[in-house]
Amino acid sequence: MSVDAFQAAENDEGDLAKEPVAVEFEAEMRQVKSMADGTYNIVLNVPEYCLPQVQTMMGWLKSLVTIVMAKDGDLGN
């Protein structure tokens, strides 16, 4: 199934604008914590050049998102 990275959404002026519904970026996974409520917190270190993606994700705070993660090469660990 393909995912359209943008969807039409009305802005404040009533015009249709394209809003991102997906972001792709690389990051270092720094930490996974199990929480008392049975959930997990994941900490990612995202490079500075991914600022546009981070800004998009900041707009999604407190939203339910779908994550697909793939290991990308060996970082020497």
Q: Which residues, given as ranges, of the chain have pLDDT below 70? A: 1-17, 74-77
Would you give the DSSP letter of residue 13?
A: T
Is 27 a domain residue? yes
Is 1 a domain residue? no
User: How are beta strands 40-45 and 28-34 bridged, if at all?
Assistant: antiparallel
Is 50 a domain residue? yes
Q: Residue 35: give the domain boundaries.
A: 6-58
Q: What is the pLDDT of residues 52-69, one digit of tens each?
A: 999 999 999 999 999 999
Sign of CA dihedral 65, 70, 75, 77: positive
Is 21 a domain residue? yes
Question: What pLDDT is attached to residue 11?
Answer: 55
Would you give the DSSP letter of residue 49?
A: G
Is 32 a domain residue? yes
Question: What pLDDT is attached to residue 8?
Answer: 55
Query: Which amino acid makes up residue 13?
Result: E
Tokens at 23, concatenated = 């972001």
Cα gap 9→35, rounded to integer Å: 35
Q: Count how many domains the chain has.
A: 1
Question: What pLDDT is attached to residue 71?
Answer: 93
